[in-house]
Amino acid sequence: MIDNTNKKRISYRDALHDGLREALQQDPRVFLLGEDVGRYGGTYAVSKNLLDEFGPERIRDTPLSELAFVGMGIGAALGGMRPIVEVMTVNFSLLALDQIINTAAIYHHMSGGQFSVPLVIRMSTGAGRQVAAQHSNSFEGWFAHIPGIKILAPATIDDARHMLAAALADPDPVLLFEHAALYNMEGELPADGSVDIKSAKVRRAGTDVALITYGGSLPKALQAAEALAQENISAEVLDLRVLRPLDTGAIVASVRKCHRAVVIDEGWRSGSLSAEVMARIMEQAFFDLDAPVARVCAEEVPIPYARHLEEAALPQPEKIITAVKALLGESA
Amino acid sequence: MIAPPPSGPVPYARDFARQLLTDMLRIRRMEEKSAELYGAGKIRGFLHLYIGEEAVAVGALHALQAEDNLVTTYREHAHALVRGMPMDVIMAEMYGKREGCSLGRGGSMHLFDKRTRLFGGNAIVAGGLPVAAGLALADKMQKTDRITACFFGDGAVAEGAFHETMNLAALWQLPVLFCCENNRYAMGTALERSESQTDLCAKAASYKMPTIKTDGMDVVAVHEATREAQAQVRSGAGPLFIEYQTYRFRAHSMFDAELYRSKAEVEEWKTRGPIHTFSARLKQEGKLSEEEFLALDAEVNAEVAAAVTFAEAGTWEPLEHMLADVYTPAGGQL
């Protein structure tokens, strides 16, 4: 039984806030910089009130200059600080790609191991809020393509609260993707704890099919698993959590156990993270499969504004249920 | 018409004046040899020579403190050498050998040296500017009296990274010395063919940043201007933009047929060459004889020869190491 005495109910947003505040309290080298992180309190209110507590030296509002302030995060990290850069959304991170890929990711290797870049970049990601195509991208899978950086996707309260500390303890650049649709999610948080940034985690155990997912699609997969359980289909839900380096062992373990898998990813399917997960299953668990691996991804369109179109373009519990039943040879 | 060759008195004691001359010669001879080695297939990839611009690196870097940070570009052999990276190590890196500063992983364009706080040759134009501003931010927050010198070419002023960084560095009064080596061409595109405003200092001034424009072919002018500039930045007055007006005598890289400029133009600029004009001034002042110059040149050539021998004798990083250092090994660098 779960002991509730040591738990409190908290939102994903507040869990992120508490993690950030703790990091600032514990290490004077840590500071936050980004657009509207200070007086505005953070676009998603993650840094609310931190300016009052830590002052403008450590909670730095920047102009709309993603390329420069991400690059400055790299420089500050090289210079002995532990910067946390907030890029308002993944959509704007495209303006900073050069610094992330051509500088942060290569620094340690190309300097012959002389320099490390202990930089954390946080950004929101994902669709589902009717903000249309330019504000609805999911590029974390793209970033997971790049050697030299680590990619995190907290999808639970516990990860939202503790992943930042693990990211700051890492000597290399870590990108942390907060799904915009999760900020208002509430859940239980153990009184104290920590998390690793190495492993995928089984969020629901099952035996008939493995639902492999991360980020904003995790609650949808859990919802689908709950509905499938009503029909006596036992779905395991694996939360990837860390998109680079991928925990291939956990993926293979779930597939070996369930013999069927559906990969759920809000990114588009072509050339995607979901494709990478499927490829690893084929390479390492092919003979454990009873059916081809299936996918539920975003439809290959710029994400539309109109609600009915946006919902139809994204992974939804119903689509996951349909995919599972197709795998099991049942009609939806 | 270009300005007349640098002339006038050299306001330095004999030893320092010779140090400046020696360093310019070291760059020149090392790079002449590099070009030869490129032709022989010993050095591959891109090779961008600094020949003609030696006064800038030498005059400027001798004005900095040993503890200062340096961020530079893909045309950076000179900066690394003057900053104190042994010529052997530079040559080995150009060969791709394990004895190079970056174990042969970066080559000519990517010289890194933690010991001298050289944070790399960055081969993305203007890519080093934000990093330099971040280093300066770290120093400001940690209250050191270090400054960061950031070298880049005239081509960089067209990039967004330049403007974003100018603004932030000025807004936050960061201790950065922006060192613009204006050699008049961004690869093959002349400044006046790519910029509506060709006065580069005016661009920096629009961010309320103080500026200095100086003759980059005159090591004395460069050194004096940079001394003044670094003192101002170190005093906490915020960033400063210094423009060195210079000229590269060689092609942009080894793949450049130089269709964009005339031989006459290059020859005209060579009359302002930083080495022969400076040595002429020293001779005129009795600080250097022809014999001494020849002896100096012989010493430098011996250093170059030794560097080539070192690089030739170098080893290759074992293939088993290929994936090492993509991430920092556990327990490292914290």
Mention every residue, 6+ apart, whose C-beta is less than 8 A from residue B83: B61, B70, B113, B116, B118
Catalytic residues of A: 66, 135
- Which pLDDT score, from 0 to 100, does residue A190 have? 81
- Mean pLDDT check: name the lowest of A320-324, B48-52, B128-132, B251-255: B251-255
- Which pLDDT score, from 0 to 100, does residue A6 have? 64
Altogether, the residues listed in chain B come to a count of 334
Cβ neighbour number for residue B8 with a 10 Å cutoff = 10
Residue bearing the bigger pLDDT, A7 or B230: B230
Mutate to test the interface with B, among A60, A111, A145 (most CBs of B within 10 A): A111
- Which pLDDT score, from 0 to 100, does residue B107 have? 96
Cα atoms in the Cβ-side hemisphere of radius 13 Å centred on B16: 10
Chain A, window 74-93: residues with a beta carbon less than 8 angstroms from a chain B beta carbon: 74-81, 83
Residue of A nearest to B166 (CA): A68
Residue B116 contacts A where some CB pair is shorter than 8 Å: no
> Considering chain A, what is the average pLDDT of its residues?
96
Pairwise CA distance, residues A64 & A330, whole Å: 52
Report whether A287 contacts A319 (CB < 8 A): no
- Kindly list the domain boundaries of chain A, sorted by start residue: 9-190, 201-327
- Find the Cα–Cα–Cα–Cα dihedral A76, A77, A81, A87, rounded to 10°: 70
Residue of A nearest to B139 (CA): A79
Cβ neighbour number for residue A2 with a 10 Å cutoff = 8
Pairwise CA distance, residues A23 & A37, whole Å: 15
Tell me which chain B residues have a C-beta less than 8 angstroms from the C-beta of A112: 100-103, 105-106, 112, 325
Q: What average pLDDT does range A87-105 have in this prediction? A: 97
Phi, psi of B168 (to 5 degrees): -65, -40
Phi, psi of A208 (to 5 degrees): -95, -35
Cβ neighbour number for residue B208 with a 10 Å cutoff = 12
Q: Is the pLDDT of residue B1 over 80?
A: no
- Which pLDDT score, from 0 to 100, does residue A330 have? 66
**A99, B328: Cβ pair inside 8 Å?**
no
The third-level CATH classification (topology) of the domain covering A9-190 is Rossmann fold (3.40.50)
Cβ-based contacts under 8 A for chains A and B: 157
pLDDT-derived band at A79, boundaries 50, 70, 90:
very high
Mutate to test the interface with B, among A27, A61, A97, A110 (most CBs of B within 10 A): A110
pLDDT-derived band at A332, boundaries 50, 70, 90:
very low
Task: Give the helix/strand (H/E) hosting A186.
Answer: strand A186-190
Mention every residue, 6+ apart, whose C-beta is less than 8 A from residue B258: B188, B251, B266
Report whether A191 contacts A275 (CB < 8 A): no
B162-198 per-position pLDDT tens digit = 999 999 999 999 999 999 999 999 999 999 999 999 9
Integer CA distances (angstroms), B317 to A5, A106, A325, B127, in order? 57, 18, 53, 28
Integer CA distances (angstroms), A36 to A50, A88, A97, B160, in order? 12, 8, 20, 21
Report whether A206 contacts A234 (CB < 8 A): yes
Q: Is the pLDDT of residue A21 over 70?
A: yes
Q: What average pLDDT does range A64-73 have in this prediction? A: 98
Residue A99 contacts B where some CB pair is shorter than 8 Å: yes
Chain B, window 247-276: residues with a beta carbon less than 8 angstroms from a chain A beta carbon: none
- Which pLDDT score, from 0 to 100, does residue A8 have? 83
B12-29 per-position pLDDT tens digit = 999 999 999 999 999 999
- Which pLDDT score, from 0 to 100, does residue B158 have? 96
- Which pLDDT score, from 0 to 100, does residue B295 have? 97
Q: Is the pLDDT of residue B127 over 60?
A: yes
Residue of B nearest to A169 (CA): B334
Integer CA distances (angstroms), B42 to A149, A316, B35, B296, B302, in order? 33, 58, 10, 27, 19
Residue B124 contacts A where some CB pair is shorter than 8 Å: yes
SS (H, E, C) B171-237: HCCCCEEEEEEECCEECCEEHHHHCCCCCHHHHHHCCCCCEEEEECCCHHHHHHHHHHHHHHHHHHH
**A78, B135: Cβ pair inside 8 Å?**
yes
Q: Is the pLDDT of residue B334 over 80?
A: no
Integer CA distances (angstroms), A84 to A49, A134, A195, B7, in order? 16, 24, 18, 51
Mutate to test the interface with A, among B118, B125, B137, B172 (most CBs of A within 10 A): B137
- Grouping H, G, I as helix, E, B as strand and the rest as coil, residue A31 is strand
pLDDT-derived band at A1, boundaries 50, 70, 90:
very low
- DSSP assignment of B135-147: HHHHHHHTT----
- Identify which of B101, B137, B160 has the shortest CB distance to residue A75: B137
- Inter-helix orientation angle A248-258/A273-285, to 10°: 60
Q: What average pLDDT does range A75-89 have in this prediction? A: 98
Q: What average pLDDT does range B325-331 have in this prediction? A: 87
This model of the complex carries an ipTM of 0.96
Report whether B155 contacts B187 (CB < 8 A): yes
Distance from CA of A77 to the nearest CA of B (A): 8
- Kindly list the domain boundaries of chain B, sorted by start residue: 18-311
Residue A279 DSSP symbol: H
Q: Using the Cα atoms of residue B96, residue B99, residue B105 and residue B110 in order, give the sign of their dihedral.
A: negative
- Reading the block at residue B256, the tokens are 């450049």
Report whether A191 contacts A162 (CB < 8 A): no
- Which pLDDT score, from 0 to 100, does residue B254 have? 84
Report whether A184 contacts A159 (CB < 8 A): no
pLDDT-derived band at A163, boundaries 50, 70, 90:
very high
Q: What average pLDDT does range A159-171 have in this prediction? A: 98
Chain B, window 71-110: residues with a beta carbon less than 8 angstroms from a chain A beta carbon: 71, 100-103, 105-106, 110
**B130, A72: Cβ pair inside 8 Å?**
yes
Chain B, window 19-58: residues with a beta carbon less than 8 angstroms from a chain A beta carbon: none
The third-level CATH classification (topology) of the domain covering A201-327 is Rossmann fold (3.40.50)
Phi-psi label, residue A112: left if phi above 0, alpha if psi -120 to 50, beta otherwise = left
**B124, A103: Cβ pair inside 8 Å?**
yes
Sheet holding A174-179, edge to edge: A59-61, A30-34, A82-89, A120-125, A174-179, A150-152, A242-244
- Which pLDDT score, from 0 to 100, does residue A7 have? 74
A70-88 b/e (C-beta count within 10 Å ≥ 16 → b): bbbbbbbbbbebbbbbbbb
> Locate tokens 């340690």: which residue?
A108
CATH H-level, domain B18-311: superfamily: Thiamin diphosphate (ThDP)-binding fold, Pyr/PP domains (3.40.50.970)
Report whether B252 contacts B185 (CB < 8 A): yes
Q: Evaluate whether A9-190 and A201-327 have a shared fold.
A: yes
pLDDT-derived band at B81, boundaries 50, 70, 90:
very high
Pairwise CA distance, residues A217 & A297, whole Å: 10
What do you get for the CA distance between the two ends of chain B, in Å?
55
- Inter-helix orientation angle B290-313/B14-39, to 10°: 40
Q: What average pLDDT does range B70-94 have in this prediction? A: 98
